[in-house]
Homo-oligomer: A and B are copies of this chain.
Amino acid sequence: MSFADHIRRCNNYDPAGAVPLVAGDQRIGWLRRDNAAALARFTRVFAVAAERVDLLASGDADAVSAAVDEVVEALVVDGRVPKWRNETFDVMPRWGDQPIFRLDRGAVPFFGVRAYGVHLNGYRREDGLLSLWIGQRAPDKRVDPNKLDNLVAGGIGNGHGAAATLAKEADEEAAIPAGLIRRAVPVGAMTYRMETPIGIRDDVMFVYDLEVPDDFAPQNRDGEIVRFELMAMDAVLDRIRTTEDFKFNVNLVILDFALRHGLLRPDEPGYLDLANGLHRSLD
A-to-B contact residues, CB < 8 Å? 94-96, 118, 161-163, 185-189, 191, 204, 206, 259-262, 264-267, 269-273, 275-276, 278-282
What is the CB-to-nearest-CB distance from A152 to chain B, in angstroms, rounded to a whole number?
14
Pairs of residues from A and B, 10 with the lowest C-beta to C-beta distance, nearest first? A279-B279, A185-B262, A162-B266, A189-B275, A161-B267, A95-B272, A206-B266, A96-B269, A188-B275, A188-B259
Across the two chains, which residue of chain B brings its CB closest to A95?
B272
What is the CB-to-nearest-CB distance from A5 to chain B, in angstroms, rounded to a whole number?
17
Write out the residue numbers on chain B whose beta carbons fall within 8 Å of the beta carbon of A163.
265-267
What is the CB-to-nearest-CB distance from A158 to chain B, in angstroms, rounded to a whole number?
14
Contact check, A186 vs B262: say whether CB atoms are below 8 A apart. Answer: yes
Neighbour of A267 across the interface among B94, B162, B267, B271, CB < 8 A: B162
Contact check, B282 vs A272: say whether CB atoms are below 8 A apart. Answer: yes
* A262-B186, A270-B96 as given contacts; A279 in contact with B276, CB under 8 Å: yes
Neighbour of A185 across the interface among B261, B273, B282, CB < 8 A: B261
Across the two chains, which residue of chain B brings its CB closest to A281?
B281
Write out the residue numbers on chain B whose beta carbons fall within 8 Å of the beta carbon of A266.
118, 161-163, 186, 189, 206
Contact check, B188 vs A260: say whether CB atoms are below 8 A apart. Answer: yes
A226 and B204 alpha carbons, distance in the complex (Å): 42
